[in-house]
Every structure is written in structure tokens, then in C-alpha cells.
A = this chain, B = another copy of it.
Amino acid sequence: MIKVGIVGGTGYTGVELLRLLAQHPEARVEVITSRSEEGVKVADMYPNLRGHYDYLSFSVPDVQRLGACDVVFFATPHGVAHALAGELLATGTRVIDLSADFRLQDADEWAKWYGQPHGAPELLPEAVYGLPEVNREAIKSARLIAVPGCYPTATQLGLIPLLEAGLADTSRLIADCKSGVSGAGRGAKVGSLFCEAGESMMAYSVKGHRHLPEISQGLRRAAKGEVGLTFVPHLTPMIRGIHATLYAQVADRGVDLQKLFEERYANEPFVDVMPAGSHPETRSVRGANVCRIAVHRPQGGDLVVVLSVIDNLVKGASGQAIQNMNILFGLDERLGLSNVALLP
């Protein structure tokens, strides 16, 4: 039984870890931390957990107790894991960070986008970007895993088959992405209120969103070269879900894109290439650790449109984190992640 610690468990990725781990046969949450909710039972804060974690209360972060765990998940705002990850690694505990702290390999770029110096640049060389469909081998032996962001997961999975195959014009990629409101977290912000985000739609951060450098880094890896990406995120009136609509020019009109995608993901348990002509709905992955993808070439032109959907809290965060844990500990990658999406 893997002993699990969670740092910062009061937000949406925290409760989602708890939801998924409650059904994981080989893991047990031993510690969950929160400074603001110290002493509160997790089930008192999240009544959906009643009956599943009667033994578990939030405690203040404590390196000794966390270090006694086999693995510690960070479900914290950016900046928090920088300070604590090194200490935990020193105790032999593995760290799976759901925040942005170790996603960018370049500390200066991190500092530029997050407006503060990187707090642990010495750990960056060993941090593994936890996208199993790209980095499975490296994950197996990692000590520190940076779980990809939600937009980056949906976008990379949708574009890398084209880039790895060298088919797309990498200078003009577009990711028009739509996210549910839970992507903004559980913080009490006016913009996330029901009466502000409901019954409306808007783009945001068109000038530049923090997930842009993360996506670009992943696409460069796949393309083995520079990429030009325009990324426009939108806020959509739904709780969960990301719908990435991806545009790439593909010169060769003869290539069978459907086959390309199906073969790329043939052995991936959590990527579903849908039949040609499909339009994946975000609800088809609600609560499930799945990315569903459909490839289109409208009017037979040279612009390819890839549709890629995930649940931002599952394949875009907590589910993918557990998938990483399974790989790390040599378990069946699907353990605890076989939930069917909730539809309707």
C-alpha cells in the first residue's frame, strides 16, 4: 500500500485527488495539509467524501510526517513546492507536483511568466514532465514529477502526432481553448462567481497566458525545433472540461491523418482517438482520466483542425498525477482510474 501525502488539499485538485484515491486499491492518503483548515476533517469540508475518509483531517505541513510517505502530491499555488520539494526529496520521498513550479525547464522563463524568481532551480534538471504519452520511461525512475497543466495536456496530445511526424507548418499553430470555470480554482474571486461566469463566454489573457511557454516547450520537443503558437484561452460556463480546437497547416494532402493519430496512441490507455468525423463533447470525459481526440480536414483543405477534450481536474490535473504515481511505483497504469465519465 503506497503511503500518500497531499500538500494543500483544500482546492479543487486536492479534493479531486481524494475522490480518486478513495477508490485506488494500492494507495492510502496518510497526511493532508492546509494551514487555514488545520484540524478540520476533510469530510466536513467536502461532504461528498463522507464515509470515505473518516480518519483524515487537515494538518499543518510537517516535513517529518510528509517525509514518512512514499509519495507527496503538491496541490498548491505556484511557488509553494519550490521550498518544500527539496526537503522531501532528501528524505527519500517522491514528489508529484500538480502546480506549475517545475514544468518549465528554464528558470528564467519561469521567473518571467510567474513574476518571481524560481525558488529551486537546482531541481529543474531532474524534474520530469509528467505527460506519460511522451515521457513514460523517464517517469518510471523519476524522483520529482511536474504534472502538466490542463491546457497544455489537451493541446499537446492534440498536436504532437502532427509534429512528431513532421507534417505541420510549425510556425503558425493556433490553439483556441475553452475551459470550464474550475480551472480558475476555488479562490473567492469575483470573476469566478456564478453570476459573473454564468450564462456568458469570454476570452482572457489573449496577450499571454502562463500556459503558453509550457505548451511551446512541449511542442518544441515534439517538433524538434522552434514553434510559433498563438494560444487563446476562453472561459466557458461549465464547471469541468477543456475543449481545445487546434489549427495546423499540413502541406501533404495525401497523408492519412486518422491512421496517424490512431497509431500514435494505439497503446495509450487514456487517449481515445475517435472515429473520423467525430465531435467530442467535454462531458464524455467528465470525471474520467481520458483525452478524446478527433481529427478534421474541413473541405479537404490544407488546414487541419484537431478537437481535443479532457476533464481539466482529471486528465488535466489529479487523474494524470495518479497515472504518474502508478507508473512510478510499477503498478498497472490504470489502477484507480477506470471510472466511466458521468453522462449526463
User: Contact residues of A with B, CB < 8 Å?
Assistant: 12, 15, 18-19, 22-23, 46-52, 172, 174, 176, 178, 180-182, 186, 188-190, 192-204, 206-208, 228, 230-232, 234, 236-241, 243, 245, 247, 249, 272, 274, 277-288, 290, 292, 296, 298-299, 301, 303, 305, 307, 309, 338-344
**Integer count of this chain's copies in the complex:** 4
Closest 10 CB pairs of A and B: A200-B283, A48-B341, A195-B344, A47-B284, A48-B343, A188-B188, A181-B194, A202-B281, A176-B176, A194-B197
Residue contact A232 to B206, C-beta cutoff 8 Å = no
Q: Given A201-B281, A207-B277, A237-B237 in contact, is the A188-B186 Cβ separation under 8 Å?
A: no
A138 to chain B, nearest CB (A): 26
Query: Apart from A194-B196, A230-B298, A234-B245, what are 18 other A-B pairs with CB-CB below 8 Å?
Result: A12-B195, A23-B339, A47-B281, A176-B176, A180-B201, A181-B194, A186-B195, A186-B196, A192-B193, A193-B193, A194-B198, A200-B283, A201-B309, A206-B296, A206-B298, A207-B296, A207-B298, A230-B247
A259 → chain B closest CB, angstroms: 18
User: Can you list 15 A-B pairs, Cβ within 8 angstroms, ordered by A?
Assistant: A23-B340, A48-B342, A174-B247, A176-B247, A181-B194, A186-B196, A186-B344, A194-B196, A200-B238, A202-B309, A204-B279, A206-B298, A208-B299, A232-B245, A232-B298
Of the candidates B46, B247, B340, the one whose C-beta lies within 8 Å of that of A52 is: B340
A189 to B198, CA, bound (A): 15
**A23 to B47 alpha-carbon distance, docked (Å):** 23
- A202-B343 contact given A23-B338, A176-B176, CB 8 Å threshold: no
Whose C-beta in chain B lies nearest to the C-beta of A338?
A: B23
Chain B residue at minimum C-beta to C-beta distance from A243: B201
CA separation between A190 and B187, bound complex, in Å? 7
In the complex, are the beta carbons of B287 and A287 less than 8 A apart?
yes
Q: Are A239 and B339 in contact (CB under 8 A)?
A: no
Looking at A288, A290, A343, which has the most chain B CB atoms within 10 Å of its CB? A343
Measured CB to CB, the closest approach of chain B to A288, in angstroms, equals: 7
- Identify A195's interface contact among B181, B234, B272, B278, CB under 8 A: B181
Which residues of the partner chain B approach A174 to less than 8 Å between Cβ atoms? 174, 247, 303
Shortest CB-to-CB span from A213 to chain B, Å, is 11
Q: Chain B residues near A207 (CB, 8 Å)?
A: 277, 296, 298-299
What is the CA–CA distance of A208 and B298 in the complex, to the nearest angstrom? 7
Q: Which chain B residues border A196 with CB–CB below 8 Å?
A: 186, 194, 344
**Minimum C-beta distance from A312 to chain B (A):** 11
Q: Give Cα A75–Cα B277 distance, bound, in whole angstroms.
A: 31
